[in-house]
A and B are shown apart, each in its own frame.
Chain A
């Protein structure tokens, strides 16, 4: 229903077409570049609203005479805001709202209803069909301009926020790929089997986009290979950047790969100088001598690794991982541990996330719990990949929807190197 008959349109039009005042033209000029579609079957109301918008500085105004006509206009050019009458022939405002909300490109388009229908039932229905806001006829210039401004500014703010969010998400995704690139590839793992007789499995999953866990394998010579696992305190971007810092430091410390204790001492001093107070990394660094079948390692407060020595015991046992986390105390000295690593010996390294999940009894799985579980499932004849999958699947089952920390699991088995069997 059109209500123009009730108003002195001519004088109103004159008033509305008056030059923009300071109130009309706000500081956020960009909203005045917005496309506005005015939908009303009354030519006079369309003209009245159009004049009102133009007086405020809006220039990109389009018109439609009913819902069907509006859909045609929107098909060619989706506006930034629709000012919509409810009662119109052919297709009314309710139906238009409903159709626009069903289409992805207009799902969140602001729709400002202007109508003479102001009963509670009408207003409820309009909002149920997807209206963003409502003003009641007769059209009041400052009301319609104020509402228009609010919705356009809101749309611009949301668009800016969405663009910012998308950019950050995309940058984090790229960073995540960089971090995943640090992990050994399946081809690299195959080459360690061929060249060093080591069966190696690797599982890494960061808790959010980025993580503070890192691990790596560093071949030293024909008969020696080093590997490590580390976890920076905290997670997210800062922890992830520290993993790259560690990797850079390690790549320049090749001469220390055969002396894990000296390596950790020097790395500890480096991190102590560079990390903020209270931040640290736990780490274990191993050097494996294939010829001697001997493992030499030093630890800085990591999770105790699990080891199984063939012909001694069927079960896995926990090895020592005691040591001051790196970065906390300058000048710290780390002890060197030597263990035999004969053919068929198995070693599993893992980050704390794996054991800090609750079991059925409501208690943390813990190192001992993991040891018992691994001893139980790591039976001869089962491929290590399958065992790793089982551990990961149990971890996710226990975690449920809870927030996870970064998870790293690395296993190694000495399958015997050609010439050393």
Chain B
């Protein structure tokens, strides 16, 4: 997993690139802290450069959404593509969270 974080005026954008899999659990936990931070009222996860996601990675996205849900932070997933987009569609994540193409 490669990630980068940018924050401006209470909005945080987390870009996750390459792969999001079982091995990324620990790294992902530190991203959760950013999402849970009270300083942010909006969170965007940008997946435009994410090529592969496995079942654990999909679970992590739901955990991230629930973390935002708990703190009342608005949550969006941006630009999923290919296999990632397909998996999000099959799993009906769009019925729970905002997914922007």
Q: How far is the CA of A366 from the CA of B85 in the complex (A)?
A: 13
| Interface hit among A16-24, A250-258, A276-284, A391-399 | A276-284
Segment of A199-207, A306-314, A316-324 in the binding face: A316-324
Check if B63 is an interface residue, CB within 8 A of chain A. Answer: yes
B89 to chain A: closest residue by CB: A322
Q: A234-B22, A324-B96 are in contact. Are A278 and B59 (CB under 8 A)?
A: yes
Interface of B is mostly: helix
Report Cα–Cα, A97/B4, bound state, in Å. Answer: 58
- Residue in A233, A279, A322 whose CB lies within 8 Å of B90: A322
Judged by a CB distance under 8 angstroms, whether A216 is at the interface is: no
Bound CA span A304–B87, Å: 11
Number of interface residues of B (CB under 8 A): 18
Query: Which B residues are in CB contact (< 8 Å) with A410?
Result: none
Let me know if A416 is at the binding interface, CB within 8 A: no
Neighbouring B residues of A321 by C-beta, 8 Å: 90
Q: Which of A231, A301, A364, A367 has a CB less than 8 Å from the CB of B92?
A: A301
Residues of A within 8 Å of B83, CB to CB, are 356, 364, 366
Find out whether the CB atom of A301 lies under 8 angstroms from the CB atom of B60. Answer: no
- Say yes or no: A233-B58 contact (C-beta < 8 A), given A304-B90, A322-B90, A324-B92: yes
Report A283-302 residues with CB < 8 Å from chain B CB: 301-302
Give the residues in chain B near A280, CB-CB below 8 Å.
55, 58-59, 62
- Assess the A301–B91 pair: CB atoms within 8 A: yes
Chain A neighbourhood of B22, CB < 8 A: 234
In the bound complex, what is the Cα–Cα distance between A88 and B89 (angstroms)? 77
What 1/0 flags go to A116-149 for Cβ under 8 Å of B? 0000000000000000000000000000000000
Contact with B along A318-359 (1 / 0, CB 8 A): 000111110011000000000000000000000000001000
- Number of residue pairs spanning A and B whose beta carbons lie under 8 angstroms apart: 52
State the Cβ distance, B31 to closest chain A Cβ, in Å: 13
**Distance in Å: Cβ of B97 to nearest Cβ of chain A:** 11
Contacting pair B58 A325 (CB below 8 A) = yes
B3 within 8 A of A: no
Given contacts A234-B22, A364-B83, contact A325 B60 (CB under 8 A): no
B69 to chain A, nearest CB (A): 10
B92 — nearest CB in chain A belongs to which residue? Answer: A324
Which of A234, A280, A282, A301 is the most central at the interface, judged by chain B CB atoms within 10 Å of its CB?
A301
Contact B58 A322 (CB under 8 A): no
Residues of A within 8 A of B59 (CB): 233, 277-280, 328
In the assembled complex, the Cα of A280 lies from the Cα of B87 at a distance in Å of 14
Complex interface bits, A382-402 against B, C-beta within 8 A gives 1, otherwise 0: 000000000000000000000
Contact between chains at B90 and A301 (CB < 8 Å): yes
Give the shortest distance, in Å, between A354 (CB) and chain B (any CB).
14
Q: Which of B55, B60, B63, B91 contacts A324 (CB 8 A)?
A: B91
- Enumerate 14 A-B pairs (CB-CB under 8 Å) in ascending A order: A233-B58, A234-B56, A277-B59, A279-B59, A282-B55, A301-B90, A302-B90, A323-B90, A323-B92, A324-B93, A324-B95, A324-B96, A364-B83, A367-B86
With A280-B58, A301-B91 given, can you name 12 additional A-B contacts, CB distance below 8 Å?
A233-B55, A233-B59, A278-B59, A279-B59, A301-B92, A323-B91, A323-B92, A324-B92, A324-B96, A329-B62, A364-B83, A366-B83
